[in-house]
Amino acid sequence: MNKKLMSKKKPSYKISEDLNNYLILYNRKLIIPIFYEDLKRFSGSVSVYNNKDVDTLWVRVFYSDFERKEIDENLKKVYNLLHSDGNELNMEFLNVDAIDYCTFGNSKPFRVKIRNILNDNFTYFYVKKADASRVYGLELEHILSPYNLNFLVFEDTLIEEHITGIPGDEFLDEFLPKCNDMEKAQIAKEFVKFNERCMIRLLGDMRSYNYVIIPTHDFDQVVYKIRAIDFDQQCYEGNLQIYRPQFFKENKRIINIIKEKLQKNSVDQYKIEERSIIAKRILSSVERSKKILKCMLSDNISKKENIKLLSQQIYSLTADSNFKNASCMGEIMKASFDYILKNYENHEMLSVD
């Protein structure tokens, strides 16, 4: 897929009152002591290079001595709110090692590195501009994927935990060529499932640098999982292919492995398995699923022409009139949930009235 098929820049959508109430209900909204705009007041920066001296397109930012002290204290408080109950007893053992700013993409996040000085363990979190698309993406990932996600929203600021793993583009360059045939077949299977999951929940732009691959050692083998790390393109674009990672040229090497290692009936079986798993996740969190859909049904998170195009394309694929008649992205998402449930032991459709 060529990049031109995607919009040049997705607009930012404000968090609606319904979504705000949802965030309060599920403890996603907490008062935080620092905002995204506060971090933009840096006085200088230097480029960040990786271990191969390649520019990462992140810059390390610096603040005046007066501001840095206050910023560090507030970022440590945010860390405690994100990862615990906000207790500040450990503040003296935390250090803000670095604050990096991303110079490309829609979200332009700040990445904060927090280190425990007692044992040198460190972790990251991100400070971003709050955007309804991004919040829906994070919440749908929490509900529908195998992974829980930890994030906070307050006014126009989003705090998002770091998702560990090997960036997809780095994995394809450095690790995939070293994988044996069994490992490649297992990666191929996981990508089929990942591809299906993204399409069902309308998460777009899963090029190789927007997901990570996570290797886990299990007895005498390494098991690989694929996890999205960028949720900016949730339910916005009109072209269905944008929600199917298989069509991005950056993923071509994995697609070639799928063609080489998996037969069509195996691919079809993995798709059915993923749909069944998603149906089970919806059913195991019915009330939460209904509430997030209700927010989306009353929200404006895309352009009319995108909604019309996407509803037509999914209708052509499924022949389900619920897609054809959709007038907002929330209705398309609800139709997707219902389609999955109808094909899973004939469960009734979700009612969000």
pLDDT (tens, 9 = 90+) of the chain, 353 residues, equals 444 567 678 899 999 999 999 999 999 999 999 999 999 999 999 999 988 898 888 999 999 988 999 999 999 999 999 998 777 888 899 999 999 999 877 789 999 999 999 999 999 999 999 999 999 999 999 999 988 999 999 999 999 999 999 999 999 999 999 999 999 999 999 999 999 999 999 999 999 999 999 999 988 888 999 999 999 999 999 999 999 999 999 999 999 999 999 999 999 999 999 999 999 999 999 999 999 999 999 999 999 999 999 999 999 999 999 999 899 999 999 999 999 999 887 666 777 76
CA gap 196, 268 in Å, rounded: 10
CA gap 229, 165 in Å, rounded: 9
- What pLDDT is recorded for position 47? 94
Total-model pTM: 0.93
Residue-range domain boundaries for the chain: 11-161, 166-342
**Which residues lie closer than 8 Å to 58 by C-beta, 6 or more apart?**
47, 48, 100, 101, 102, 103, 111
**Which residues lie closer than 8 Å to 185 by C-beta, 6 or more apart?**
257, 261, 262
Strand order across the beta sheet in which 44-49 lies: 44-49, 55-62, 94-102, 110-116, 122-129, 157-161, 151-154
- What pLDDT is recorded for position 4? 58
How many CB atoms neighbour CB 269 within 10 A? 14
- What pLDDT is recorded for position 130? 94
Place of tokens 């089970």: 280
CA gap 284, 304 in Å, rounded: 32
CA gap 6, 241 in Å, rounded: 10
CA gap 266, 269 in Å, rounded: 5
- What pLDDT is recorded for position 2? 47
Place of tokens 């607009």: 11
- What pLDDT is recorded for position 1? 47
Hey, which residues does 55 pair with through a beta bridge? 49
CA gap 244, 242 in Å, rounded: 5
Hey, which residues does 221 pair with through a beta bridge? 218
Closest to 48 (Cα-Cα) out of 85, 125, 126, 103: 103
